[in-house]
Structure 1
Amino acid sequence: MRRTWKPAMAVVTAAMAATASMGTVLAAETDDVRPLAAGDAAAAAVAANAADHDDPADHSWNTADVVPITLSGSTASSTSPDVSISGGSVTVTGAGTYQLTGSLTNGQVVVNTTESGIVRLILNGATIANSTSSAINVVDADEVMVFLNAGTTNRLTDATTYVYPDPSVDEPNAALFSAADLTVAGTGSLTVTGNAYDGIASKDGLVIASGTVTVTAVDEGVRGKDYLVVNGGSTRGAAG
């Protein structure tokens, strides 16, 4: 769900093992940080800030509706009209559930849709590397979930130096970047290498619901602008 509000404080819950060898692995920022009021007002503020976009209903779907996307080195393939492919660039243009399998040696998965509803990217043994930008770039969406399939190992690696189409542009700026609310879930594993900026970053809310996530990044490992909520799984990393 796309949100325009800014919470009064960032919320980070640690129901998982989060360790860092250096720097900041987990970070949250807001545009409006205010002290909590006393008494009932404080309790209400805490309750409001504890809310996030993650809905249990988003964690299940009809397997018949899953759209396969096969990653094959320098290109990819899919039969869906909601998936456009140009070389190693794969763009998802509709809400729905998409399963990515295989490897892109120099490519990117882009989500860019104005349709209402969640976009699920199921990583099913997917490896995506990019030499000029992020590995996954969510430009626009109502909400995005990156789901790690059970028993799979998945890897995202971005560029050491980003090439932007315009000097005034500074996004994306993470190996896994989202301009929308982002959830990471599933029981598989995800290794993220942020060679230039952050590892995982959302300009809205970011929820890590489950999964084994390992992040190495030059800047922050995991960043949520509106909030960062960790409900489960295991996240480890090193950040500069």
Structure 2
Amino acid sequence: MKKRRIILLWLFAGMLLVPGCTLKNAEASSENQSDTATNSEEQTVNDISEMFTDRDKEIGYDEEDSALITLADNGTLCDSDAVQISENTVTITEEGTYILSGTLSNGMIIVDAEDTDKIQIVLNGVEITSAQSAAIYVRSADKVFLTTASGSDNILTNGGTYTTIDDNNIDAVIFSKDDLTLNGAGTLRIKAGAGHGVVSKDDLVLTSGTYDIIAASHGLSGKDSVRILSGTFTITSGKDGIHASNTDDSSLGFVYLADGSFKITAQDDGIHADSSTTILGGEIEIAQSYEGIEGLSIDITGGNISVTASDDGLNAAGGNDSSGFEGTGGDQFAATEGAYIHISGGVIHVNSEGDGIDSNGDLTVSGGDTFISGPVNDGNGALDYNGGAVISGG
């Protein structure tokens, strides 16, 4: 733990008290703030358009042009040549839209298509339990869109073990080797007796829908990224609630939250990214965690955020937890390259037993309302940083 702290820092810049100049400078400041706000809003719109495609957000489908799959133990029915049925294993092999309904008490859906194929799977009242593997497994595709039908309630469950069926280490109720998007106007309940709730080995994107996830390990996990546009999420996890990690490319492994409603209870981090964590808005309640929000860098521009943590509330590039960083090594006061926390908006409440806000690099607060309470251990403080610190607003 680093021991350099801010107790209170006030920075006053550009305050000219010369008669006749004060109003002019105030007007210029107001104009600059307005320009900055406009530029920030435009940048946010641009960022969102880069993070989410129109197809990611599309939840509609044409039932007449879709293949209907009716699930039943040893009696699944489908008249499409692109669907192979072997007892309770259903394999989708070609691009298209597939509407699923019914129940498998011990079975799975496999996507095994060409790496150029885009596939939409619509869940319309589905309950699938896989005793020893994933309920839905994307072995090969360009991208899969998993859509919950409007008003539908769907349940996917793993029984507590994973048996090897190929070269991939399947360890989630929904496991994808390729890009995966979840959306819809229904509800998806995921129960992982072992492993994770949802895993993508590329990008994991969620743009709409209601999700109730209980997982022994991570709730949502993406190798390249986890990107959430909107939705309602209740996540209870044995490790991280939302997790992104890429050890091959330091620019990937990021979390991007544009909006949504989140209630996260984790034994490890509430939100963890190996690279950047970006929060633009939403209602986020991390009711229990080791560290609340973690990333090499953390940018918060909006949202209503509540964090309860047994260690640090917000942590940039650090942590002793099993999924976190391994620390900087050497000089404990040295700044970590690329590490920072920047808060420019939102309402943030942190109740932590460690540091409230802990940056192994720079700390900047330029807006928002931040409330920190609870550091009780020796060596912990409300604010802790290793680089430079500027509080210019908020």
Q: 1:53 to 1:137 in 2, by over 3 A?
A: farther
Give the residue type in structure 2 aligned to 1:67.
A
Q: Find the aligned partners of 2:184 and 2:60 in 1 and give their Cα distance.
A: 11
Q: Find the aligned partners of 2:205 and 2:120 in 1 and give their Cα distance.
A: 14
Q: 1:204 to 1:154 in 2, by over 3 A?
A: same
Give the residue type in structure 2 aligned to 1:186.
G
> What's the counterpart of residue 191 of structure 1?
189
Q: Which runs of 5+ in 1 are unaligned?
A: 1-42
Give the residue type in structure 1 aligned to 2:119.
V
> What's the counterpart of residue 159 of structure 2?
159
Provide the identity percentage. 34
In 2, are the aligned partners of 1:75 and 1:89 still within 8 Å (CA)?
no
- Tell me the number of residue pairs that the alignment of Structure 1 and Structure 2 aligns: 194
Higher RCO (Cα < 8 Å, 6 or more apart): 1
* Ranges of 4+ aligned residues in structure 1 off by more than 2 Å: 46-63
Which aligned pairs between 1:86-125 and structure 2 lie closer than 5 A? 86-114=86-114, 116-125=116-125
Q: Find the aligned partners of 1:67 and 1:77 in 2 and give their Cα distance.
A: 11
Which aligned pairs between 1:54-69 and structure 2 lie closer than 5 A? 55=55, 58-69=58-69
2:230 aligned to which of 229, 232, 236: 232
> What's the counterpart of residue 79 of structure 1?
79
Q: Find the aligned partners of 2:136 and 2:71 in 1 and give their Cα distance.
A: 13
TM-score of the pair, normalised by structure 1: 0.75
In 2, are the aligned partners of 1:134 and 1:159 still within 8 Å (CA)?
no
> What's the counterpart of residue 173 of structure 1?
171
> What's the counterpart of residue 210 of structure 1?
208
Deviations 1:82-126 (A, max 9, x none): 000000000000010000000001000000000634201100000
In 1, are the aligned partners of 2:56 and 2:181 still within 8 Å (CA)?
no
Q: Which moved more, 1:203-212 or 1:55-64?
A: 55-64
Q: Does the residue aligned with 2:162 lie in a helix, a strand or coil?
A: coil
Q: Find the aligned partners of 1:237 and 1:84 in 2 and give their Cα distance.
A: 33
Q: 1:205 to 1:54 in 2, by over 3 A?
A: farther
Q: Find the aligned partners of 2:49 and 2:121 in 1 and give their Cα distance.
A: 27
> What's the counterpart of residue 40 of structure 1?
none
Q: Does the residue aligned with 1:232 lie in a helix, a strand or coil?
A: coil
Q: Does the residue aligned with 2:100 lie in a helix, a strand or coil?
A: strand
RMSD: 2.1
Q: Give the deviation of 1:194 after TM superposition.
A: 1.1
> What's the counterpart of residue 149 of structure 2?
149
Q: Does the residue aligned with 2:94 lie in a helix, a strand or coil?
A: coil
Q: Find the aligned partners of 1:57 and 1:214 in 2 and give their Cα distance.
A: 20
Q: Which moved more, 1:216-225 or 1:62-71?
A: 62-71
Give the residue type in structure 2 aligned to 1:77.
L
Deviations 1:159-216 (A, max 9, x none): 31111146xx452110011111111111100000111100011001011111110100
> What's the counterpart of residue 28 of structure 2?
none
Deviations 1:49-104 (A, max 9, x none): 95355635754443321110000134411000000000000000001000000000
Q: Which runs of 5+ in 2 are unaligned?
A: 1-42, 239-394
Q: Does the residue aligned with 1:55 lie in a helix, a strand or coil?
A: helix
Q: Does the residue aligned with 1:77 lie in a helix, a strand or coil?
A: coil
Q: 1:237 to 1:57 in 2, by over 3 A?
A: closer
TM-score of the pair, normalised by structure 2: 0.47
Q: Does the residue aligned with 2:64 lie in a helix, a strand or coil?
A: helix
Q: Find the aligned partners of 1:48 and 1:58 in 2 and give their Cα distance.
A: 15
In 2, are the aligned partners of 1:75 and 1:86 still within 8 Å (CA)?
no
